[in-house]
Structure 1
Amino acid sequence: MKLTIFAATGGIGRQVFEQAVAAGHDVTAVARNPQSLAGRARVVAADLTAADPAVLASAVQGSDAVLSGLGPRRPRTEAGITSRGTRAIVAAMRATGVRRLVVVSAAPIGTVPSPARPTPPRHDPGDGFFMRHLGSRFAGAMFRAHYADLALTEDIVRESGLDWTISRPPRLTDRPLTGVYRVARGRNIRGGVTVSRANVAHHMLAVLDQPEAVHQVFGIAD
């Protein structure tokens, strides 16, 4: 499969890249500084906060699917990066006729207001007592601007007209790939506090072979 991976040197993006290359996919890696990936795949240098549309179009042209691990390295100070970058990715896909898109969001986003969802549910149906009453409030206070940007990002994806899938992991870890994790459609995982970046990447690649995953949001946790 021919894949374009955005933010391919980031935490999740690098895991998607490594697993995609190992599986024998034809990979184009897009990142601000992708030189470390050169020689293993086609690389495209692009800053998604101010990307050249022609560069992004060339990066996705002819791909079977686009996977984005885009997110701020410092969520509390770099809010806005994910929505701006995702908007640019969607525009490039529309311009080139590429339809399949898989992106990463975060577990709390189902309860975060956005322009398209100004009154979301108060609780995610998969959240247990702690997350409903304490965890979500603490996380919201810590990462309010970042979560608002991810909620906007989900709006952009949902309204794109593309064949999208959204992954909503909880706290990310650097534990190794196991391929063993829990997934729930349309809700978070009860008691799911953490998940490894490697397992998130594994699931992002897995849904490419699952037509039923199109236009779905998935909670995932170890």
Structure 2
Amino acid sequence: MRITVIGSTGHTGRHVLVEALRRDHQVVAFTRRPAALSDPTELQAVVEGDGRDPEKVREAVAGSDAVISIINGGGRHDPHRAADATRTITTVMADLNVRRLVITSPYPLVAHKPRIPLWVLRRLLATPYADAAEMERVVSAGDLDWTIARLTRLTDKPATGAVLTSRVLLERPHAITRADVAATLLDIVQDTHLAGAAVNVCGRKPFREFQ
């Protein structure tokens, strides 16, 4: 597949690039910071730009089979970053007839058993969570073949291969490595049964704790 990765120089996006290349996909990196790419020579293309710029998004998405978008919720100085960029991305994809979209979102938006009490998370992260919630609404209101992957707490540990992907709320929302997230996002891209669904993704502990 030819896959455009938006947010490709973030901590998780870099893992997605590595794993996509390992699987022999053609990869287009879309980023505001191309200098942060460690080795762009294996990439199909690098497009520098902001996700709210339709012309730059069009350049990055044209000819791709799928888009993986990893955009964190906004902050005080840019509170609608994720939702605004996602409106542009989905509009461009629909115009170009690029159907498959996998987008990340924080699991605490829907969680009932986080490691930190929900009221603490939702107060401390009110702005990015509100932006992520609006981003989800933008995606689910469209008619692309979208999947929202809601992620639990991310770590930089090595990949374990032990991942739980569920359409229902997680009984034990364990942390997950970014490397495992990358593999999971690429698996989801190729799983057409998950189109039109939001899934919750976490790491898994030993078999006695499997759901």
Do they superpose with TM above 0.5? yes
Unaligned residue ranges in structure 1 (runs of 5+): 111-123
* Aligned residue number for residue 59 of structure 1: 60
> C-alpha displacement at 1:137, in angstroms?
1.1
Query: In 1, distance between residues paired with 2:166 and 2:60?
Result: 32
- Whether the aligned pair in 2 keeps the contact of 1:188 and 1:220 (CA below 8 Å) is no
TM-score (ref. length: structure 2):
0.88
* Aligned residue number for residue 104 of structure 2: 104
What whole-Å deviation, never above 9, does each CA across 1:74-114 have from its counterpart, x for those lacking one?
A: 8566432111111111121012110000000011223xxxx
- Change in CA separation of 1:199 and 1:85 when aligned onto 2, cut-off 3 Å: same
- Change in CA separation of 1:4 and 1:56 when aligned onto 2, cut-off 3 Å: same
Match of 2:172 among 191, 196, 201: 191
Query: In 2, distance between residues paired with 1:76 and 1:193?
Result: 29
* Aligned residue number for residue 115 of structure 1: none
Matched, 1:46 2:46: no
Query: In 1, distance between residues paired with 2:128 and 2:2?
Result: 31
- Whether the aligned pair in 2 keeps the contact of 1:76 and 1:142 (CA below 8 Å) is no
Is the deviation greater in 190-199 or in 96-105?
A: 190-199
Query: In 1, distance between residues paired with 2:137 and 2:162?
Result: 30
Unaligned residue ranges in structure 2 (runs of 5+): 204-211
* Aligned residue number for residue 138 of structure 2: 156
Structure 1 residues 53-92: aligned runs within 5 Å: 53-71=54-72, 78-92=78-92
What whole-Å deviation, never above 9, does each CA across 1:103-142 have from its counterpart, x for those lacking one?
A: 00011223xxxxxxxxxxxxx5xx34xx49x621110011
| Partner AA of 1:82 in structure 2 | A
* Aligned residue number for residue 121 of structure 1: none
- Whether the aligned pair in 1 keeps the contact of 2:34 and 2:46 (CA below 8 Å) is yes
* Aligned residue number for residue 3 of structure 1: 3
Aligned residues between the structures: 200
* Aligned residue number for residue 30 of structure 2: 30
3-state DSSP class of the match of 1:39?
helix
3-state DSSP class of the match of 2:117?
helix
* Aligned residue number for residue 221 of structure 1: 202
Query: In 1, distance between residues paired with 2:127 and 2:117?
Result: 17
Query: In 1, distance between residues paired with 2:117 and 2:42?
Result: 41
* Aligned residue number for residue 193 of structure 2: 212
* Aligned residue number for residue 182 of structure 2: 201
> C-alpha displacement at 1:55, in angstroms?
2.0
Between the two proteins, what is the percent identity of the paired residues? 31
Query: In 2, distance between residues paired with 1:65 and 1:193?
Result: 28
* Aligned residue number for residue 95 of structure 1: 95
- Whether the aligned pair in 2 keeps the contact of 1:76 and 1:143 (CA below 8 Å) is no
CA RMSD of aligned residues (A): 1.9
What whole-Å deviation, never above 9, does each CA across 1:160-219 have from its counterpart, x for those lacking one?
A: 21000011112111112222111211x332121411121112111001221211111111
